[in-house]
Amino acid sequence: MLKGLIASVALASSVTAAAAPVEVAWQNLMNRVGADGNPEYVQRFIIKGDLSNLSRIAFNQFDRKMTPVNSADTVGRIIPGYYYIASPRFAQNADSVVVDIVTSGTMPQYSYGADGVHGVNAAGEPFDVEFIRLSGTMRPEQWALPGRDRNTPAEKIFEKNEELINGAKAGAYDIVPSFKSVKLGEGIYTGGDKTLKLIKHENPEFYRITVTPQGITTEGASQKALYTASRTLDKLLRVNGGKLPAAVIEDYPDYGYRGVMIDIARNYQSLDQMKKFVDVMADYRLNRLQFHFIDDEAWRLEIPGLPELTEYGSRRGYTTDEKDFLAQIYAGDGRPSTLGGTANGYITRQEFIDFLKYCDARGVTVIPEIETPGHARAARKSMEARYRKTGDDTYRLIEDGDTSVYRSAQDFGDNVMNPAVPGTLRFMEKVFDEIIAMYKEAGVNLETIHIGGDEVPHGAWSGSPSAIKFMKENNMNSESDLHAYFVKQLGQALKDRGLKMSGWQEVVLGKDEATAKSISPYLEFVNLWVTWPQGKEKELPAIKAQQLGAPVVFSTAHGFYLDQPYSGHPDERGLGWAMITDELASLDAYPAVLAPQQPGGKILGVQGQLWSETVRGPQQMELYLFPKMLGMVERAWNSDTTYTHSQFNSALGKHELPFLAQRGVNFHLRQPGVKIENGKILMNSPYEGAEIRYTVDGTDPDINSTLYTGAVDVPQGAGQIRARLYYLGKESVSTMHDIAE
One-letter identity of residue 524:
E
Instruction: Decide: 589 and 556 in contact? Cβ < 8 Å.
Output: yes
Reply yes or no on whether the pLDDT at 115 is more than 70.
yes
Note the pLDDT of residue 317: 98
Tens of pLDDT, residue by residue over 1-12, are: 444 344 334 343
pLDDT for res 672: 98
**Quick one: which H or E segment has residue 729?**
none
User: How much is the pLDDT for 95?
Assistant: 82
Confidence of residue 500 (pLDDT cuts 50, 70, 90): very high
Q: Tens of pLDDT along 651-666? A: 999 999 999 999 999 9
Distance of CA 662 to the CA centre of its chain: 24
The mean pLDDT of 400-409, rounded to a whole number, is: 96
Give residue-wise pLDDT tens across range 570-609: 999 999 899 999 999 999 999 999 999 999 999 999 999 9
196 strand-pairing partners:
218
Please give the pLDDT value at position 544.
Answer: 96
pLDDT > 70: what percent of the chain?
Answer: 97
Quote the pLDDT of residue 741.
52
- DSSP per position, 624-669: HHTTHHHHHHHHHH--S----HHHHHHHIIIIIHHHHHHTT-----
Taking only the tens place, the pLDDT of each residue in 277-293 is 999 999 999 999 999 99
Q: CA angle at residue 610 from 609 to 611, to 5 degrees? A: 110
Asked whether the beta carbons of 143 and 107 are under 8 A apart, the reply is: yes
Q: How far apart are CA 320 and CA 322, in angstroms?
A: 6
Give the model confidence (pLDDT) of 66-83 as tens digits: 999 999 999 999 999 999
Q: According to the model, what pLDDT value does residue 148 have?
A: 85
Residue 471 CA to its chain's centroid (Å): 37
At residue 183, the pLDDT reads 98
Which long-range contacts does 427-433 make (Cβ < 8 Å, 24+ apart)? Answer: 427/306, 427/379, 427/383, 427/395, 427/397, 428/370, 428/372, 428/490, 428/493, 429/493, 430/303, 430/305, 430/306, 430/395, 431/303, 431/306, 431/370, 432/370, 432/493, 432/494, 432/497, 433/497
* pLDDT for res 640: 87
CA 365, CA 502: separation in Å to the nearest integer?
Answer: 14
Q: Are 617 and 639 in contact (CB under 8 A)?
A: no
Q: Are strands 115-121 and 54-60 parallel, antiparallel or unpaired?
A: antiparallel
- Return mean pLDDT, the chain: 95
Of 89-93, 200-204, 297-301, 564-568, where does mean pLDDT reach its minimum?
89-93
Q: For residues 490 and 501, is the Cβ–Cβ distance under 8 A?
A: yes
Sign of the torsion formed by the C-alpha atoms of 653, 658, 663 and 669: positive
